[in-house]
Structure 1
């Protein structure tokens, strides 16, 4: 049935009115939020894909080109014969966050290898007693097991464990030695056939080259760079957030973005401090100081900055004076995944998200010298993303003068484990 001309005109006018109304709502209610508040955006649904080939515009600012990625170069590991009889089981829980997990895995591998024992797939504990996850909820168990094939055996559960038998717990130092293993673990394993490890730490910073060099062994390198991959679903979440951040920074810096490791408590109490090598005085950083630092060394106002803080806080607002495109994870995480990863209240997924986001950003700014900084640095060195900046109270306006000592002095253990491709 043919439509009357008046009906066609009426339809066109109706469509126009809806378009005008939609534009008014966006202008009056949505756009102001994007300027003043780091709210969730419609584009952040995990569907956004920005390829390197689409980023044809050259980035303006003190961006450093990535170095070559590196490959494993530690010596070949002694291979375990298939079917070899196990001398017992080594179990453990991974604790304190992803920056500590590789070190804990390294100790467990070394102990199991030295004693001819089988490693039980670890579980993962959060900051609270009730926070506990299976290994496969965070990491890829298949990748983990495959990476250790021929080195040690890995099982999901101990075999023939006596019901009700109490497992002996042994505290191991942050850098376990063969002497410690022989004296404190081997006698128990021979008697009980199962030992559960728990880690104790004398400090939170393992950055001194000599100390780490003395500890280095191929099992530590394997744990650091060859065994732990995120679960595919969690990895896709991080990748979608990276795509969103690159999209938001496309116009200003060709898709490049900065991550800054700092928390609200540090902003409020000015706990994020660095010591000046020349004067030995401490200089502390809040939102204002970080904004001034990034502006001083030449990053443009439109640069996208990601903060490891979980959600937006008023104390962050001074940073947005310098860089309006400053976001926290609640603004760049797909809305449909927030309930699972941020609002569950059961586990600090954000630690893993932050760790892997900071690995992938074009620039990583560390405001505190801790294990998070140390282990993000090692993964960035492996991938060639070596623009790691440490704010300091200097007059220099060159970003190169604020590069991490790990990069300038090549004193990180990563350089002992990895070689240029």
Structure 2
């Protein structure tokens, strides 16, 4: 016969259960207080973690004022103010076709397009939608894999005709290739391109560059207007899927920097040199000495001018390299693209062994960050600057061997002197 459980035993079990539940509640509250609540203070209302990556809603990011640090408020965005373009008559006869491949990365593409537009316009020719070449000879992409073809065609409506392929091109007919200088002139067009176009009806352009200093408005502003302005600020938009990828990475970077700087983040253009611990080098115009900036120097620079330790820093370096580690001593939230790209898209954009997509991702991330730090004075810096000038994001910093702790003393000469060609194309709204 079974014995009836005692009342005392029942009470002890109840008390033990209550104590156990209390301990779990206390422990859970401690975790929430120490690890969860700090993340939720001033955070977006809507967010989730998916496949190990942060996914932030477009509508959850609201610009906050009063973020701590040497952040500069954005200037007013600017609008196109170039002269009215000559409009083609409807059904105007074409005098042949101008084709080209875009090369060397996104920072060069607008200039290549500008030359092509000027040539096609001068000769009354039709522009063939470009293809895009990679670093390797075998790498070639159709225009629509990177850029929006519809936006490109629409932006040139009334300026030059754009077609996908030349009409009535004879199979096997050899197309003459002409090397075009970085700043093509009407004299060059008349002497080197027009005779070939009249005879062959098609010319393919290839660009050659002698320097990357193409930014002074007084030198080339009038030369490029209005066609260069159309190419720079009106024709090249990322195709929708690639644009959404970049936008999602921007949202992730803002999320990671939400508490420390109200969602503001910094991009730094650096590339680790093979077999070296230094990153990017630049020459001092005054002393003619070359200064190289490694992770330690970049961290010291950003800390010196007042950026908080929790600020998110994005590096254009392809993937994390051990020489970058000292930067995390100053700014633990330092990332390369492999850390902020959605996992399900890495195979397509990072792990395929094709580095062309990375150039576009870096270029557009550097356009949209709150601060852009250029450690090398090159074409990438020049063209990121022009797009930031257009959008009003003019906090572009150049590290230098100065004692000043004011971020304003390190602003790019493009901003301080307004010597960038963008100022000849754009006006305040």
TM norm. shorter chain > 0.5: yes
Q: How far off its partner does 1:274 sit? A: 2.8
Secondary structure of the equivalent of 1:267?
A: coil
Q: Is the 8 A contact 1:70 1:420 kept in 2?
A: yes
Q: Provide the secondary structure at the position in 1 that maps to 2:41.
A: helix
Q: How many residues align?
A: 420
Greater mean deviation of Cα atoms: 354-363 or 8-17: 8-17
Question: Structure 1 residues 78 and 13, CA, compared in 2 at 3 Å: closer, same or farther?
Answer: farther
Change in Cα spacing, 1:405 to 1:14, as seen in structure 2 (3 Å) is same
Map Cα deviations across residues 138-197 of structure 1 (whole Å, 9 max, x no partner): 000000000000110000000000111000000000010000000000000000000000
| TM-aligned CA distance change 1:112 to 1:330, over 3 Å | same
Query: 1:273: Cα distance to partner?
Result: 2.3
| Equivalence map 1:253-402=2 (5 Å) | 253-265=261-273, 268=276, 270=278, 272-402=280-410
Deviation per CA, 1:180-226, whole angstroms, max 9, x where unpaired?
Answer: 00000000000000000000111133233433235332000000000
* 2:5 alignment counterpart: none
Whole-Å Cα distance in 2 between the matches of residues 207 and 327 of structure 1?
30
Residues 152 and 345 (structure 1 numbering): CA distance in 2 closer, same or farther, change over 3 Å? same
Q: Which runs of 5+ in 2 are unaligned?
A: 1-7
Normalised to the residue count of structure 2, the TM-score between the two structures is 0.87
Measured on the aligned residues, the alpha-carbon RMSD in Å equals: 5.0
1-structure distance, mates of 2:29, 2:242:
35
Tell me which moved more, 83-92 or 201-210. 201-210
- Sort the Cα spacing of 1:407 and 1:45 in 2 relative to 1 into closer, same or farther, 3 A: farther
| Farther off after superposition, 399-408 or 15-24 | 15-24
The CA distance in 2 between the partners of 1:146 and 1:352, in whole Å, is: 22
CA distance in structure 2 between the partners assigned to 1:57 and 1:417 by the alignment: 29
> Normalised by the size of structure 1, how large is the TM-score?
0.88
Q: 1:314 to 1:85 in 2, by over 3 A?
A: same
- Cα distance 1:342–1:271, how it changes in 2: closer, same or farther (>3 A)? closer
Shift of 1:19: 12
1:85 aligns with 2:59: no
Kindly state the Cα deviation for residue 127 of structure 1 after the two structures are TM-superposed.
0.3
Find the residue that maps to 2:300 and give its secondary structure: helix
2:258 maps to 250
User: What residue number does 2:4 align with?
Assistant: none
Aligned match of 2:38 = 32
Q: Deviating runs (4+, > 4 A) in structure 1?
A: 2-42, 44-59
Task: Tell me how far apart the structure 2 counterparts of residues 227 and 195 of structure 1 sit (CA, whole Å).
Answer: 22
Give the deviation of 1:74 after TM superposition. Answer: 0.1
- Name which of structure 1's ranges 23-32 and 369-378 shifts more when overlaid on structure 2: 23-32
2:269/2:315 contact within 8 Å kept: yes
SS at match of 2:354: coil
What is the deviation of 1:276? Answer: 3.2
Kept in 1, the 8 Å contact 2:279–2:295? The answer is no
Moved more, 7-16 or 333-342: 7-16
**Superposition deviation, residue 11 in structure 1:** 14
Q: Residue 261 of structure 1 contacts residue 307 of structure 1 at CA under 8 Å; is this kept in 2?
A: yes
